[in-house]
Amino acid sequence: MRVTKEELKQLIKNKLHKAGLTESHADTAADVLVFADARGIHSHGSMRVEYYSERIAKGGINTNPNFQFEKTGPCSGVFHADGGNGLVAAKEAMKEAIAIAKENGVAIVGVENMSHSGAISYFTEQAADEDLVALSVTLSDPMVVPFGGSEPYYGTNPIAFAAPSSDGRKITLDMATTVQAWGKILYARSKNESIPDSWAVDANGNPTTDPHKVNALLPISGPKGYGLMMMVDVLSGILLGLPFGNKVTSMYNDLTEYRKLGQLHIVINPSYFTDLNQFKQNITQTMADLNNIKPAPGFSKVLYPGQNNDEVIEKYEKDGIDIVDDIYEYLVSDVVHNNKYDNKDPFAE
């Protein structure tokens, strides 16, 4: 099913508002979710709406949070999300970080006691749109076996980065510290497609191509990915005094309770380190240099980080956003949720 970006946003907003979010929060949340779908990151887009709606309806997301920003130093602060929607809290916290970085050159802002925040490159691009450089990391469910281990301990613990260029484009990185994000496996399930055997293991610890048999994910590049997910856990969990490692609650564990997740935004103002225009021109030059590198056999072109997303955006702007028929049918229905996520194991559908 193909829909316009505007139609998809309105459908998502309506569903989240019906579930219990305020109209303003539903609008922001819908914007973040459509951001993902419009870039082909369907694992963090509209397919998440029913889960969010069920958690909202059951009280596991505070629909009237007392958001508070506590500035802890000239360049630092903590955004208290009060169990509120993570998509909204992360955006509001980034606004605070942007203001600090513009004034003082650098900002480090933590978000504490939030719910799931979706595709976190939305927030780093939020800063890049203001001519700033940003890095963001966030906690997630314990569903990854550490290198050498057979039981999950860390989450997929994503990292996002964005920097502006001189022509409006952005270099963007948004990656899980696993070989693949859990949402991509959920998407494979929704499409009844197999997955590469390098993504995950089954209950016996053996590689699997069946997304329905996944019992744990694998860290990217073995010990290197393991080290990165540890770093993210420290920065967005331990640093903020929040649950960490296998103490982080599952997305599906008791949807009546707040999740207490954390996120850390680091924002840098290039003009405090170099000439801003030259910086942006050099980013543009970097993009061109990468595109002009002779491609390896089997490749038609070297892409700069985030370029594939740019190309998907252009395609979807022309042809509409492609979403699964079942998800569209849910979005246009009167059903808030089908009570299918509560108290499932971490690998629920």
Let me know if 116 is a catalytic residue.
yes
Predicted local confidence at residue 346, as pLDDT:
59
Predicted local confidence at residue 347, as pLDDT:
62
Query: Which of the pair, 343 or 19, is modelled with greater confidence?
Result: 19
Burial bucket for residue 122 (CB in 10 Å: 0-12, 13-18, 19+)? buried
Pair 36, 122: CB distance under 8 Å: yes
Dihedrals phi, psi of 195, to nearest 5 degrees: -120, 155
Q: Report the candidate in 285, 326, 322, 317 with the shortest Cα–Cα distance to residue 304.
A: 285
Per-residue pLDDT, averaged over 31-44, amounts to 95
Pair 42, 55: CB distance under 8 Å: no
Per-residue pLDDT, averaged over 322-331, amounts to 94
Helix, strand, coil percentages in the chain from 3-state DSSP, rounded to 5: 40, 15, 40
Helices (H), the chain: 5-19, 23-37, 49-57, 86-104, 121-128, 182-191, 223-236, 276-292, 307-319, 325-332
Amino acid making up residue 110? G
Strand, coil or helix: 298: coil
* pLDDT mean across residues, the chain: 94
Please name the CATH architecture into which domain 65-275 falls.
2-Layer Sandwich (3.30)
The model's pTM: 0.93
Predicted local confidence at residue 150, as pLDDT:
78
CA–CA gap between residue 346 and residue 280 (Å, rounded): 42
Of the pLDDT bands very low, low, confident and very high (cuts 50, 70, 90), residue 348 is: low
Strand, coil or helix: 260: coil
Query: Among 36-45, 101-110, 168-177, 195-204, which stretch is predicted with the lowest mean pLDDT?
Result: 195-204
**What are the angstrom distances between the C-alpha of 223 and each of 159, 189, 228?**
17, 28, 9
Residue for token digits 């970097």? 286
Per-residue pLDDT, averaged over 62-76, amounts to 98
Domain ranges within the chain, ordered by starting residue: 65-275, 279-306
Of the pLDDT bands very low, low, confident and very high (cuts 50, 70, 90), residue 261 is: very high
Sign of CA dihedral 232, 186, 199, 34: negative
Predicted local confidence at residue 279, as pLDDT:
98
Query: Which of the pair, 83 or 317, is modelled with greater confidence?
Result: 83
Of the pLDDT bands very low, low, confident and very high (cuts 50, 70, 90), residue 181 is: confident
Residues 6+ apart with CB under 8 A from 64: 22
Length of the chain: 349
Which one is catalytic: 116, 212, 265, 337?
Answer: 116
